[in-house]
Structure 1
Amino acid sequence: MVTAAPVVEATGITKQFGSTVALRDAAIRIDQGQTHALVGRNGAGKSTLVSILTGLQPPDAGEVRFGGEPAPRLADRDAWRQRVACVYQKSTIIPELTVAENLFLNRHDHGRGGLINWKTVHSRARELLDTWSVDVDVRTPARELDVEQRQFVEIARALSFGARFIILDEPTAQLDAAAINRLFARINDLQRQGVTFLFISHHLQEIYGICDMVTVFRDAQHILTAAVDELPRAELVGAMTGEAAAEVGGDRRGPSADAVDVLKVDDMSLPGAYDDVSFRIRAGEIVGLAGAASSGRIEIAETVVGLRAAASGTVEIAGTRPRPGSVPAALKAGVGFVPQDRHHQGLVPEMSIADNGTLTIPERLGPSGFIDGRRRDHFATTMIENLAIKTPGPELPVSGLSGGNQQKVVMARALANDPDLLVLINPTAGVDVRSKEFLLGKVEEIAESGTGVLIASDELDDLRLCDRVLVVFQGRVVGETARGWHDHQLVAAMEGVDLDVR
């Protein structure tokens, strides 16, 4: 009996960016007609593998084969489109064009004089969508499609090139439960017609609902591949997190028994992001918001600091209810804030360390809105010493600092107004190990001084400091975990997995 060649097989894949190893001797094999899951924590190497499987970049070592044949040359984009397509979480549909124009972009039928034959284009588009059971009017402007319709149009477009291997990157992130069920039904239909899927998701319960096989990556390496119905959920989570299951939490004293609330969130909702969220943080307490990227944890934290305005509910900071959706009001109420992306939200690159670190406290630097340079630099020098920022002086532009030192400047600014509440989103993202340890140690020190801390993160190291962790899943706080959790327990809760279900 001759065994059919896999739809795609990658072996010995290694990819390095500078000193960072994104993939190390990684491998994956996906057979005809499967829906094959690829899972792993952030930084596991999933995105790098997808870019190699779609021909966007070459591996440093290793080989990719489609149907047993070597992958095309990177420059031969048509050949890649005939073999593989990726439907990304962020749509590649052009909003200003119609559905038909998106389906056959740069492939329009031309009539006499080189003019586009729109009648033929629309006819071909309707035929294509009918073939794959996509119920969308081909003349509709793409901007009028909902997320679900855009995904189906992108899948149909990929299939029109001849590809029968589709990568779905977080396809359910922006879908409600009914739309997810419809997506899964379409995947099953297409699977029966010979289409193969690689399904990437942070929601492990979806893996058990739709996938045949699952591959786990961790720390840039392939860990296991197994049939989904033969892999207990606890083992899947264990493969993602490693063997670490020791209790965490250290010997931090935590808030005093009579500590007052510095943050009160009551019945807060924002459609499409989170719903009916309520919690408290006391002075000196560190509370985590744990969840996957699309869970709503980031939006909750951004609402607390005024970057977003909730549709309903209230936020009270140190006894004050700041105006919703106002960062200045939140700062005045006593918030310090480290945003999730220091490059786009946290720093002005060509401004000095001194200017970046004091942006939130101009009133302390001089009278009537005028800044006293000596007072600013004195404040910045103290900040540099307290945060151990490696720099020749406060006048250096922050663009000249390493990532870890840039993050320290963002932290310094968050602390500049002596906040009652410090809100941190992914506070150690993109920093080296020593900077991470320093920053988390500083957070612990700040809490010991009586400041309440909210950490919104999916990184376990960020959450180890917390006195308790609130788990956010699909926009709701679904659980609370006290200090002493195990890695696999928290990850399972974040992914919506019940470890007691096989």
Structure 2
Amino acid sequence: MAHQAPPAVEAEGIVKRFGPTLALDGVRLTVAPGEAHALVGRNGAGKSTLVGVLTGLHRPDAGTVTFGGEPAPAFGSTAAWQSKVACVYQKSMVVPDLTVAENLFLNRFETGRPGGRLISWPRLRRRAAELLAEYGVSVDPTARAKDLPVEQRQFVEIAKALSFGARLIILDEPTAQLDARGIQRLFGKLRELQSQGVAFLFISHHLQEVYELCTTVTVYRDARHVLSAPVAALAKDDLVAAMTGEATSGTAAWHAPASKVRKDAEPVLRTEGLALDGEFDPLDLEVRPGEVVGLAGATASGNTALGETLAGLRKATAGRITVRGRAVRPGSVPHALDAGIGYIPEDRHLQGLVLDRSVAENATLTVADQLGPWGTVLPSRTREFARSMIASLDIKTQGPQQKVSGLSGGNQQKVVVARALARGPSALIAVRPTAGVDVKSKDALLGVVRRVADEGSAAVIISDELDDLRVCDRVLALFHGRVVATFGSGWSDRELVAAMEGVGERE
């Protein structure tokens, strides 16, 4: 009987908590040598936490991890972990201004002679060329990393990981920034490396890529292992059902009641042929008074870029935007504000809040011109305005002067919403408005968006969170920059997720 090689990685009974949050609840995963194994699940399923455990970033609270049949290295032993596993993330980790050779051997340069201090650049470039040739990567070692196409930067990262001895490479959304040709080149290289015994754990929101590249798939849902199965034996409907917990024949969960939007009403927000090269294709969109429209899509679908374009953060390469018939100047946030667009950004910490400033200061950032005569800002008027927003949105705070850094996540998000509503927008654009908040705050925030529409404005929710989209009257699913399906308010989790993942298209 032939000896069977031990798994490239095997994780059993992994438990991981972050405070009161149970991020992994006894999950398991086994990846064979030379296998392309997919790990899929909705946001919050536990995928990223498992990657942290498998790469030595997180110490599990329970469970075991082995590589090639040997126990995982001691926690904190970076070099030992590098010899076992590496992760190539969606956002490239190469240093853009360094050459390929410098990136490959960063922090492990050799000097010209023993005991010397000077780096032998010819030797470095020669070693880099040999390493790249060993794995069939056709990249110039002297080229700057920033000048390489995205997939070539990924090849460099993979070659670097293999040079440490790693035989397991985790690919986290590797196709998010690639076009169709780049994806095929990446997949071709991965298949070559598989033939050399390199194993890949492939994490992606694009399920058709799972069927194209992988032989086995593991599904996590709500921090638990749901199934592991051969890809060829698992129908796409069954895979989506495992991810959502909803059977193919399942009934729809709660949704907004049937829309009362008058279809003959003049649109509040309209786009005509709006496009951004490399992000989303030309889009004609109309949102009427009282309507909440969802733009659903996973990573790289183009929906976030679309929201940022509507808000003036990005400049469209084609088309136009109008609000109540008024044209909005492309790529101008001040003009978008003046035209009546309110914006809730995706990341409240990076784009939404000045953490060391007060609730009042943050809530009134967009209306500073209304807080005093001749361009001045009167503190009394700022506090008065903030108090009205605190009361309207039920923000739990010690008062207008409290720093937002001292608020809970849900209340911080309400401050961001207050700022977006401060000018009484005609059209509210909300990107993942409930990210990182508790269930009670989530319901309150979605209720605010619904109320804005019910009072005669238009609202657009951009998200891949199904609960965010249930409040919508209409949902458009985007995949790789184009609308692939349109749903009324009665969609099922299964059919919407299938459309977002690119395995079910309908217009």
TM over 0.5, shorter chain: yes
In 2, distance between residues paired with 1:278 and 1:164? Answer: 47
Partner of 2:83: 82
Question: What does the per-residue CA deviation read over 1:344-363, in whole Å, with 9 as the maximum and x for residues that have no partner?
Answer: 11111122211211111123
1:392 Cα deviation after fit: 2.2
Number of aligned residues: 500
Q: 1:241 & 1:499 partners in 2: Cα distance?
A: 18
Alignment of 1:61-210 (within 5 A): 61-112=62-113, 113-210=116-213
Distance in 1 (CA, whole Å) between partners of 2:75 and 2:318 is: 50
Answering whether residue 316 of structure 2 is matched by residue 315 of structure 1, we say no
Partner deviation per Cα, 1:71-127 (whole Å, 9 max, x = no partner):
011232222111111111111111121111111222223223342222222222111
> Which amino acid in the other structure matches residue 33 of structure 1?
G
Q: CA RMSD in A?
A: 1.5
Tell me, in whole angstroms, the C-alpha distance in 2 between the residues paired with 1:236 and 1:111: 55
- Distance in 2 between the 1:299 and 1:319 partners? 23
| 1:159-192 deviations in Å (ceiling 9; x for gaps) | 1111111111111111110111111111111111
Cα distance between partner residues in 1 of 2:77 and 2:35 = 26
In 2, the alpha carbon distance for the partners of 1:376 and 1:252 equals 40
Distance 2:419 2:265 in 1: 25
Which structure 1 residue ranges, 4+ long, deviate > 3 Å from structure 2?
none
Partner of 2:9: 8
Q: 1:327 aligns with which of 333, 349, 359?
A: 333
1:269 equivalent among 264, 275, 281: 275
Rounded to whole Å, the distance in 2 between the matches of 1:297 and 1:318 is 22
Counterpart in 2 of 1:470? Answer: 476
Deviation per residue, 1:195-251 (Å, 9 max, x gap): 111011110000000000000111111111000000000010011111274324232
**C-alpha separation in 1, matches of 2:258 and 2:505:** 29
Q: Return the match for 1:422 from 424, 428, 435.
A: 428
- Tell me the equivalent position of 2:219: 216
Alignment of 1:494 with 2:500, yes or no, is: yes
C-alpha distance in 2, partners of 1:353/1:381? 9
The alpha-carbon deviation at position 499 of structure 1 amounts to 8.5
Q: From 246, 250, 257, give the equivalent of 2:251.
A: 246
Does the aligned pair in 1 maintain the 2:65–2:72 contact within 8 Å?
yes
Q: What SS is found at the alignment partner of 2:326?
A: coil
**Residue 385 of structure 1: how far off its partner (Å):** 1.1
SS at match of 2:460: strand
Question: Does structure 2 retain, via aligned residues, the 8 Å contact 1:269–1:312?
Answer: yes
CA contact (8 A) 1:404 1:431 kept: yes
Q: CA deviation at 1:295?
A: 0.8
The answer (yes or no) to whether the contact 2:38–2:203 under 8 Å persists in 1 is yes
1:30 aligned onto 2:36: no
**Does the Cα contact within 8 Å between 1:266 and 1:278 map onto a contact in 2?**
yes
Any idea what SS the aligned residue of 1:79 has?
helix
Residue 368 of structure 2 is matched in structure 1 by 362
Paired amino acid for 2:73: P
Query: CA–CA distance in 2 between the matches of 1:92 and 1:335?
Result: 35
Partner of 2:344: 338
Q: Which residue of 2 aligns with 1:58?
A: 59
Gaps in structure 2 of 5+ consecutive residues: none
Aligned to 1:431: 437
Residues 499 and 23 (structure 1 numbering): CA distance in 2 closer, same or farther, change over 3 Å?
A: farther
Q: Structure 2 CA distance, aligned partners of 1:190 and 1:284?
A: 54
Which amino acid is the alignment partner of residue 110 of structure 1?
A: T
Distance (Å, rounded) in 1 between the aligned partners of 2:373 and 2:64: 65
User: Identity, % of aligned pairs?
Assistant: 57
**Distance (whole Å) between structure 1 residues aligned to residue 389 and residue 406 of structure 2:** 17
TM-fit CA distance, 1:141: 1.5
The one-letter amino acid paired with 2:38 is A
Contact 2:173 2:203 in 1 (8 A): yes
SS at match of 2:27: strand
CA distances 1:424-448 after superposition (whole Å, capped 9, x unpaired): 0000001110001111112212211
Work out the CA distance in 2 between the residues paired with 1:499 and 1:419.
Answer: 33
Q: Deviations over 1:357-379 (max 9, x none)?
A: 11111233222112233222222
CA distance, structure 2, for counterparts of residue 361 and residue 81 of structure 1: 51
Report the AA paired with residue 444 of structure 2.
F
SS at match of 2:365: coil
Report the AA paired with residue 338 of structure 2.
Answer: K
* One of 238, 256, 261 as aligned partner of 2:262: 256
User: Aligned pair in 2 of structure 1 residues 83, 313: CA closer, same or farther (>3 Å)?
Assistant: same
- 5+ residue gaps, structure 1: none
- The answer to whether the 8 A contact 1:259-1:284 is kept is no
| Cα distance in 2 for residues equivalent to 1:380 and 1:67 | 59
TM-score (norm 1): 0.97
- Distance in 2, matches of 1:36 and 1:222, equals 15
Contact 1:166/1:195 (CA < 8 Å) preserved in 2? Answer: yes
The one-letter amino acid of 2:91's match is K
Provide closer, same or farther for how the CA distance between residues 27 and 499 of structure 1 changes in structure 2, counting only shifts above 3 A.
farther
Aligned-partner residue type, residue 281 of structure 1: V
Alpha-carbon spacing, 1:479–1:121, altered in 2? closer, same or farther (3 Å): same
Distance 2:28 2:340 in 1: 50
Q: In structure 1, the residue corresponding to 2:502 is in which secondary structure?
A: coil
Instruction: Find the aligned partners of 1:253 and 1:42 in 2 and give their Cα distance.
Output: 28
Q: Deviations over 1:123-155 (max 9, x none)?
A: 221111111111111111212111011011111
Instruction: Report SS of the residue matched to 2:395.
Output: coil
SS in 2 for 1:361: helix
